[in-house]
Amino acid sequence: MTATAVLLGFDAHPAALADLDRLPPAVQESAVTHLRTLVRAEQRGTALDRRGPWDLTGCRKLCLDDDKRWRLVYQERPARPLSPHPSEIYLLAAGARSGHEVYNTAARRLQLLTAGRFSA
């Protein structure tokens, strides 16, 4: 297996892909690069726990720029049935750290997923 082999699957909350589209172009490129390294298991983000009123235990974050203003929030979880990968990266949100925006968005989406309102 080469160092560039994809080891993990990838999935995203339906709105998380739209988040990526709204990022500034340079940050968007960084996000794509980070997602590639995640599915190749070449890096892992920092584990999260409680963020204000939200419990993001089981989620991870990655900073997308040198100023640490932009973040990805994702989960590492078992892959869906029929996936060729045992595990997957599940993108919950991409956005600004300011005002905990990205964390608030990720937490709301995680609650909806847990409640079964969106299919994973």
State pLDDT tens for residues 1-51.
445 788 999 999 999 999 999 999 999 999 999 999 999 999 999 999 987
- What is the rounded radius of gyration, in angstroms, for the C-alpha atoms of the chain? 14
- DSSP, residue by residue, 28-62: HHHHHHHHHHHHTTS--PEE--EETTEE-TTEEEE
With beta carbons less than 8 A apart as the criterion, state whether 34 and 64 touch: yes
The values of phi and psi at residue 114, to 5°, are: -65, -35
pLDDT in tens, 81-108: 888 999 999 999 999 999 999 999 999 9
For residue 77, the cross-strand partners are 88
- Length of the chain in terms of residues written: 120
pTM for the whole structure: 0.88
